[in-house]
Amino acid sequence: MNASRVGKRGTVVIPQNLPKRFGIQEGSFVVAEERPEGILIRPAVLTPVEVYAPERRAEFFLNNAVDARSYAEAVAEVRKMGLNPNKITHQKPRGA
């Protein structure tokens, strides 16, 4: 067990052997969690978030339709978005 000192802005220097052991490098992200026994600092895994363009969202709506009724609902939703469903690449479900 190694002691560390807390800096002015709450910075804590992690003892040298621990970052290597847990794959933490300069610039890595960590999560600080409040626990009953103290603060747990662990490596964080960040997943980039994809922001979909309206056309891509419309494609999802249309391609996820499974029957004529759900396809009609998807077409209505795409039209509410101000898009023309006929200009969106998609597969119509059988019977639609």
List the chain domain ranges.
1-47, 54-87
What is the chain's pLDDT, residue by residue, as a tens digit (96 residues)? Answer: 778 889 999 998 888 888 988 989 999 999 999 999 999 999 998 888 989 999 999 999 999 999 999 999 999 999 999 999 999 999 999 888
pTM higher than 0.85: no
7, amino acid identity: G
Angle at 47 between CA 35 and CA 63, to 5 degrees: 130
CATH class of the domain comprising 1-47: mainly beta
